[in-house]
Amino acid sequence: MSAGQQVASPDGSSADTASARQQPVSASAIADIVVTAQKRAERINDVPLSITANSAPELKAAGVSSPDDLGKLVPGFVYAKSAYGVPVYTLRGIGFYDYGLAALPAVTVYVDEVPLPYGQLTAFSLLDVQRVETLKGPQGTLYGVGSTAGAINIIAASPTPSLAAGLDLTYARFNQVTVDGFISGPLTSTLQGRFAFHTENGGAWQRSYTRKDRLGDKRITSGRLLLDWAPTSAFSARLNVNAGIDRSDTQALQYEGPTTLPSTNATLLRLNPSLYNYPRAPENNRAADWDVNYPFRSDNHNFQAALTANYDINADLTLKSITSFNRFTTTSSVDGDGTNQQDATILVDGKIRVFFQELRLSGTYDNGLRWIIGANFQDDKVDQRQDGFLTRSTQGLPVPGATHNASFSFQNAQSKAVYANVEFSVVDGLTAQGGVRYTKSDRDLKGCSTAQDQNTANFFGPRVGAVIPVGGCYTRRPDGTVGFYTTSLNQDNVSWRAGLDWKVNRDVMLYANVSHGYKQGGFPIVGASSYLSLQPAVQEDVLAYETGAKLTLLDGAVQFNTAAFYNDYTNKQVRGRVIDPATNAQASALVNVPKSKIYGGELQLTLRPVQQLTLNADATYIKTKITSSFLNFDFIAQRVQMKGQVLPFSPKLTFNVRADYQPPINSDWNAVFGVAVKHQSSSFGGLGELAVARNKAFTTLDLRAGVKSADDRWNISVFGRNVTNTYYWTAPALIIDTLGRYAGAPATYGVTVSFRY
């Protein structure tokens, strides 16, 4: 937990509670943090959950501009870049690595309680925020999208009752220019508004190690309009209209060599020795390579409109409605091999449409009972086309080979749920909580892979036993014919949570929870010569136990939180492989690990020895293990028994240590100094615990220094991120013939000037 200020709730109303209004007992006491993790405003130390809350100044100081960066502040949070750009978030060792637009994450992101159920929708979510709450553990009862790992609850900065404005200008290494701004204030006596914008340009940090060329420029523009309307004391509404455009370069892989599978390497050496002997990328964050004179960039557009309405029926009863529509489109190109040859050039074209509606009624009774009942409905449509240009690969050579194919996935999904939550006082200081949600989800798939040139048609025709025209499907269906394969996945579940918390006094709380959570099943998008590759991974479920303590010590100068947890997983969803009978080869697919477990512990420590100095130390330790028989294919497509092995992207230890010191210079100005250390131990980026799939341990150091005015109107700072230029990577990749890595950012430094009115 990080120090912060009292804040407003998502609907703009005051979030103060009686206990939160209590003043710190000493000048160096850590200010209360108010969160809305349980759909109401309350002190974070009164919430019987493991939560990390970070304010807007903390996020800005750490350089957190998207959920991808939250690992700088949230221990146990791991970001991995998937092969074609979809972000993958893992929390406490649980994530879901898949590169399709329709991949349903294990960590769900919300903005003012509106879900962003697909990874690509989160790109613009951290625009002009008030704070970010990261909830750890299954979040399937109070939140509208079941997530087995946790939830990221983003609270947007609210319109203000008086005129306010702000501007942040940042110039950083590689000529990157970032501009953030907002203007906020009353429009009428009952209407307040806030407009915010963000732009990023430049920053080409990747450089070719075989020629003079660069990659990595950002071209991002986003904006949001918030309108808060309160015509009466009983009714309020918020309209959120936001949009974003991202035409940034896509990241190139670092070429690590041909796959270590002997049969593939022998074929590659015979057909394309220049690729087999291509120089490996130096161990440098910036080094990479990509096809010559090809525009590797994205063209992503996002539009969202959300309406939230609150009506106080009486002093003890409130009705809330949340309605949201989101549309996202993308066209992007990715170099999948990290060389200047067209071994695997991938084009992604797709769109996502999401409609979400929630109604809930909440109330209190006799000051000892709080309850919520509600229902939500979600309707999704996700279409994706994925082209592979494989001219110089072992699939494309010798000609005629599979030189250009395209995979299509058209998915429609509906989810309906009803839920209830209750909290009541058992005896003075002891509170019991319980929640339950019934969810019914239906997802339909229409998918196939097509031959986009005659070479590919000639290659697959004999293998699937059909004449394939150019542009025709070569996916073999269960009846032996080829064409679009259609299927459905219809599932339901009952998730629940029960817990006890004991508030010994205002400064000490102990809690214990048990919950049963689910994550919906889904379909992949893959190059499929057989319908078997398009079979779904069924829903996963987890039985989770957690116990913890939140302690405020030394007159509020120390906050110490700790938790221990144990998670028992059934049908954990992972990307694996199946045998494709059409080609008698392994084919990528989504699969379920029958049984696995995760256990560990975490601590959060905040110290304020003097008023000007704040110290934070947060750490998470986990162990994961596949506990049942699981015979599948490892990272390089070898069939192995994986019982006893770890789950992908589950580093044992992650920790953050931060210091913020703001001594006064004079009555008008304060100095600002900051140090941040992040550590992440090694993990595996795929099944099988292979050395070629290992993400090595790394530690990064960030520094900042500056001055700010005593009234917080001016702030001028210089910063350095990864100042030691530590070489690390977020994920390995194996596409067709080659192994590669997605490198982390190199040393970056810059200056920021901020003004508030």
In this structure, what are the phi and psi dihedrals at residue 663, rounded to the nearest 5 degrees? -75, 150
Q: Which residues contact 67 (CB under 8 A, 6 or more apart)?
A: 79, 87, 89, 109, 122, 125, 126, 152
Confidence band (pLDDT; 50, 70, 90) for 7?
very low
Our measurement of the distance from residue 677's CA atom to the centroid of its chain's CA atoms, rounded to an integer in Å, reads 21
Query: Which contiguous run of DSSP H or E holds residue 463?
Result: helix 454-464
Q: Is the pLDDT of residue 19 over 90?
A: no
Q: Is the pLDDT of residue 13 over 70?
A: no
Residue 427 lies in a domain: yes
Residue 15 lies in a domain: no
Structure-model confidence comparison of residues 86 and 569, the more confident one: 569
Q: Domain holding 196: CATH number? A: 2.40.170.20
For range 1-14, the mean pLDDT:
39
State the average pLDDT for the chain.
92
User: What percent of the chain has a predicted confidence (pLDDT) above 90?
Assistant: 83
Handedness of CA 141, 142, 146, 149 (dihedral sign): negative
Q: Is the pLDDT of residue 299 over 80?
A: yes
The pLDDT of residue 1: 45
For range 305-322, the mean pLDDT:
96
Indicate the DSSP class of residue 141.
S
Residue 13 lies in a domain: no
Return the amino acid letter for 193: G
CA dihedral of 523, 529, 530, 532, whole degrees rounded to 10: -40
Residue 237 lies in a domain: yes
Confidence band (pLDDT; 50, 70, 90) for 583?
low
Residue 18 lies in a domain: no
Distance CA 244, CA 675 (A): 32
Range of the domain at 538: 34-756
For range 581-603, the mean pLDDT:
87
Residue 23 lies in a domain: no
Residue 148 lies in a domain: yes
Among 725, 479, 683, 506, which residue's Cα sits nearest to residue 598?
683
The pLDDT of residue 365: 87
Confidence band (pLDDT; 50, 70, 90) for 83?
confident
Compute the 3-state secondary structure of the chain and give helix, strand, coil in percent, each to the nearest 5.
Answer: 5, 55, 35
Among 216, 74, 198, which residue's Cα sits nearest to residue 126?
198
Distance CA 137, CA 669 (A): 42
**How is residue 549 written in tokens?**
């303590």
Task: Convert the pLDDT of each residue in 173-183 to its tens digit.
Answer: 999 999 999 99
The pLDDT of residue 216: 96
- Give this prediction's pTM: 0.93
Question: Among 270-279, 323-332, 571-580, whose mean pLDDT is lowest?
Answer: 571-580
Confidence band (pLDDT; 50, 70, 90) for 28?
low
Asked if residue 198 lies in contact with residue 168, where contact means CB atoms within 8 angstroms, the answer is no
User: What percent of the chain has a predicted confidence (pLDDT) above 70?
Assistant: 96
For range 512-529, the mean pLDDT:
93
CA dihedral of 475, 480, 484, 488, whole degrees rounded to 10: -110
The pLDDT of residue 115: 94
Residue 21 lies in a domain: no
For range 525-552, the mean pLDDT:
94
Q: Is the pLDDT of residue 582 over 80?
A: no
The pLDDT of residue 717: 97
The pLDDT of residue 26: 60
The pLDDT of residue 146: 77
The pLDDT of residue 262: 85
Question: Among 80-89, 329-338, 484-493, 715-724, whose mean pLDDT is lowest?
Answer: 80-89
Strongest mean pLDDT among 40-44, 145-149, 277-281: 277-281
- DSSP letters, 358-375, are EEEEEEEETTTEEEEEEE
Which residues in 89-126 are b (16+ Cβ under 10 Å) and which e?
Answer: bbbbbbbbbbbbbbbbbbbbbbbbbbbbbbbbbbbbbb
Task: Convert the pLDDT of each residue in 605-663 to its tens digit.
Answer: 999 999 999 999 999 999 999 999 999 999 988 899 999 999 999 999 999 999 999 99
Q: Which residues contact 349 (CB under 8 A, 6 or more apart)?
A: 330, 331, 384, 385, 386, 387
Q: Is the pLDDT of residue 455 over 90?
A: yes
Domain count for the chain: 1
Distance CA 116, CA 289 (A): 33
The pLDDT of residue 10: 36
Q: Tokens 């909830």 map to which residue? A: 135
Q: Is the pLDDT of residue 88 over 70?
A: yes
For range 314-320, the mean pLDDT:
94
Task: Convert the pLDDT of each residue in 243-281 to its tens digit.
Answer: 999 999 999 999 999 988 888 889 999 999 999 999 999
